[in-house]
Amino acid sequence: MLEEYINEFIEYIKNHRGHSGFTQVNYRHDLLQFDNFLRTHFPGGIESPKEIKPYTIRAFLAGFRESGYKASSIERKVASLRAFFKFLYVKGLIDLNPARYVVVPRKERTLPGFLDYSQIESAITNIRGDTAEIYRDLVIFELLYATGIRLRELSGLRTSDIFLPRMVLRVMGKGAKERMAHFGEPAKFALERYLEHRKELLKGKADSGILLLNRRGEPLSPRGVEYIVKKHMSKIPGARTNPHAFRHSFATHLLSRGAPLLEIKELLGHSSLSTTQRYIHLQLEQLKDTHKRTHPRG
């Protein structure tokens, strides 16, 4: 019913909006789910997207609520539908965006988890050896913590994105937004050693230019990076094993040492300050602890 329009929309966000392949896959998945819903509930078919009403979308989303989907998952589906129908509206194929009038369920508000510096230091110290894979693992840990880089940004880094003398790397973030991320001497040292041994992983294969390689000489996938992080972090008692915890730790540790929130926003590549403000929870906890320890009636 909508597959032709969906394909056209995916081509549009790929070529004109700069959305990542991951975002394209998610949008396509959500929209094809909606298309399947229409085929199931409207066997006779719909002749035009104009026939789709807000209550049609609400009925589609109700199934996910009843199945116990998280509010965040439903919110993503609403976002996909809004973007899709906005595309159709701009092209003049519909008179209004039916998804615009759908209320998004309240998203669960959770505080970002982070690691203690001692846990990060212990994990890095425990990565020992003299192989290309060990040096690669050290680079993963050093860059995750030194730059606050996202998992997919890290796996997508190319050797040409690394500027060792200046100790910066070029990161392609969400929405194809480019930023420069800074790192210190420990990460520089780890990169130097890995780049010296990286060819050992290639094993004579053609070089793709991707910085991180697996043992077969192929680009290391986000899932591969996640596996490596979990493998090493599982050895640290009580530590979180999700790679995203390093991004939260990067922001939290900067904030606790007095870095301005606006500057942390830029370092993280956030488009909205409200996203960065989640990290202010640490300062609030510290204030509560200080009050409890020092106030006569704390």
Query: Per the residue annotation, which of 158, 174, 188, 215 is the catalytic one?
Result: 174
For residue range 33-92, list pLDDT tens digits in order. Answer: 998 988 888 767 677 888 898 888 998 888 888 888 888 888 889 999 999 999 999 999
pLDDT at 11 over 80: yes
Q: Does domain 117-288 have CATH number 1.10.3720.10?
A: no
Place of tokens 């989907």: 69
Instruction: Please give the pLDDT value at position 291.
Output: 53
Rounded Cα distance between 190 and 178, Å, is 24
Confidence tier at 148 by pLDDT (50, 70, 90)? very high
Own/partner pairs, 289-294, CB within 8 angstroms, 24+ separation: none
Instruction: Please give the pLDDT value at position 293.
Output: 63
Homologous superfamily of 3-101: Tyrosine recombinase, N-terminal domain (1.10.150.130)
Decide the pairing of beta strands 178-182 and 168-172: antiparallel
pLDDT at 283 over 60: no
- Would residue 166 show up in a list of annotated catalytic residues for this protein? no
3-state helix, strand, coil in the chain (%, to 5): 60, 5, 35
- Would residue 270 show up in a list of annotated catalytic residues for this protein? yes
Place of tokens 């909508």: 2
Give pTM, 2 decimals.
0.65
Rounded Cα distance between 217 and 229, Å, is 19
- Would residue 244 show up in a list of annotated catalytic residues for this protein? yes
pLDDT at 111 over 70: no
First-to-final CA distance of the chain: 64
- Would residue 197 show up in a list of annotated catalytic residues for this protein? no
In the chain, what are the domain boundaries? 3-101, 117-288
